């Protein structure tokens, strides 16, 4: 065990993030947790780590991190406990067996992604044990950890955030969004719904291109242009907020015809059409709901209604 890790702050309950040498515990050493523990080590923080699969700690231990023998030992080692787990279920799996008294006065910085509801329940779970809880939504891959150009959204008690801002800023720029513990999780999920759907549309395009003998590199300029939606988002945003879906520049009926052309192009090429079929189905519902002559932005109103409850 490294002398920079466990015991580096005598395992005290200090949660003073202003201390530039504050001890930090990182629980969960997937690609993200490893990058985070590495960033803390780079900045001279004594770091204790714990992971279900201990071998993932090897490189960090070689760099000076302390490897805790149990999750409880890891929590005891620092006032700030960063969680980088797959989801909140993993948090309960890891921390559920820890003596509840150990959490008192510590802060759980939960950078595991999950739903807003589960983030709120996680914050309540921490509060029952006397711990502070900050929900984080990390908007960068592991390569961005340690850079102030990357951002993490936080929500939770403002005083807890401010007290620990210096430690949080070791990871990325830290943007405080509000007190509701679910808020950072919501903003993260808003980011992800656009990210995953856009990226999957790129995989779809590469698959179609490949079926026609084109490589990903052949369509890179086209892909960069097609996925840059800045002009569209800036145009639609004020109109959507004003409830203006007038079909002056685009009409949903045109959108449906186009979405079906995309779907048929996939099918002609023998490429899986699950994603374009889903897109065409959303457009079809919009037209069926009476929006054929409205802008494609009227899909916002259609999507607000749960699919099962339409007349
Ligand atoms: P991984 O899923 O690769 O790693 C998650 C960690 O959770 C591992 O240490 C794993 O342990 C642990 N874990 C999962 N389930 C359990 C369990 N039941 N009990 C104990 N430990 C468990 O995730 P990442 O490192 O990639 O990401 C961590 C979090 O950050 C996720 O919530 C992710 O959504 C979020 N995130 C990730 C980004 C990325 O690009 N990777 C970007 C932005 C956010 P073990 O090693 O033993 O399997």
The predicted-structure confidence for 131-147, as pLDDT tens digits, reads as follows 999 999 999 999 999 99
Q: What is the pLDDT of residue 21?
A: 85
Contact assessment for residue 192 and residue 87, using Cβ atoms and an 8 Å cutoff: no
Q: Provide residues with CB under 6 Å of ligand 1.
A: 28-33, 51-53, 56, 84-87, 90, 93-94, 111-113, 138, 141-142
pLDDT of residue 11: 37
Ligand 1 centre to CA of 137 (Å) is: 13
Domains and CATH numbers, the chain: 24-181 (3.40.50.720), 187-303 (1.10.1040.10)
Partners of 83 in beta bridges:
27, 110
Q: Which of 56, 84, 86 to mutate to test the pocket of ligand 1 (most atoms within 8 A of CB)?
A: 86
- Taking the C-alpha atoms of residue 162 and residue 134, their distance in angstroms, rounded to an integer, is 11
How many angstroms is it from 30 CA to the middle of ligand 1?
5
Closest approach atom of ligand 1 to CA 87: 32
Q: Could you tell me the mean pLDDT of each successive run of 10 residues in the chain, 311 residues long? A: 42 43 96 98 97 98 98 98 98 97 98 98 98 98 97 98 97 98 98 96 98 98 97 98 97 98 98 97 97 98 81 51
Closest CA to 129 of 174, 81, 166: 81
As to burial, measured by CB atoms within 10 angstroms (0-12 exposed, 13-18 middle, 19+ buried), residue 260 is middle
Closest atom of ligand 1 to 53 CA is 47
Ligand 1 centroid to residue 75 C-alpha, Å: 18
DSSP reduced 3-state for 21: coil
Q: What does pTM read for this prediction?
A: 0.90
pLDDT at 18: 44
pLDDT value at residue 5: 47
């Amino acid at each position: 065990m490294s002398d920079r890790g466990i015991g580096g702050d005598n395992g005290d309950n200090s949660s003073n993030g202003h201390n530039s040498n504050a001890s930090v515990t990182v629980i969960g050493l997937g690609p993200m947790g490893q990058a985070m523990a590495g960033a803390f080590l780079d900045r001279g923080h004594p770091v204790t780590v714990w992971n279900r699969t201990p071998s993932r700690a090897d490189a960090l231990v070689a760099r000076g991190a302390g490897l805790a023998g149990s999750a409880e030992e890891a929590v005891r080692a620092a006032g700030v406990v960063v969680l980088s787990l797959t989801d909140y279920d993993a948090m309960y799996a890891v921390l559920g067996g820890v003596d509840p008294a150990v959490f008192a006065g510590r802060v759980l910085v939960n950078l595991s992604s999950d739903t807003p509801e589960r983030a709120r329940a996680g914050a309540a779970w921490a509060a029952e044990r006397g711990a502070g809880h900050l929900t984080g939504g990390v908007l960068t891959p592991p390569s961005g950890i340690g850079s102030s150009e990357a951002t993490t959204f936080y929500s939770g008690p403002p005083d807890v955030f401010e007290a620990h801002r210096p430690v949080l800023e070791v990871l990325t720029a830290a943007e405080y969004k509000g007190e509701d513990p679910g808020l950072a999780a919501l903003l993260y999920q808003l980011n992800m719904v656009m990210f995953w759907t856009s990226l999957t549309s790129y995989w779809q395009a590469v698959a179609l291109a490949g079926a026609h003998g084109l490589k990903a590199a052949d369509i890179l300029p086209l892909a960069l242009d097609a996925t840059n939606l800045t002009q569209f988002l800036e145009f639609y945003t004020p109109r959507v907020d004003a409830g203006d879906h007038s079909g002056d520049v685009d009409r949903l009926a045109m959108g449906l015809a186009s979405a079906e052309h995309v779907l048929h192009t996939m099918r002609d090429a023998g490429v899986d059409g699950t994603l374009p079929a889903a897109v065409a189905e959303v457009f079809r519902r919009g037209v069926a709901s009476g929006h054929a002559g409205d802008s494609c932005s009227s899909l916002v109103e259609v999507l607000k209604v749960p699919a099962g409850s339409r007349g």
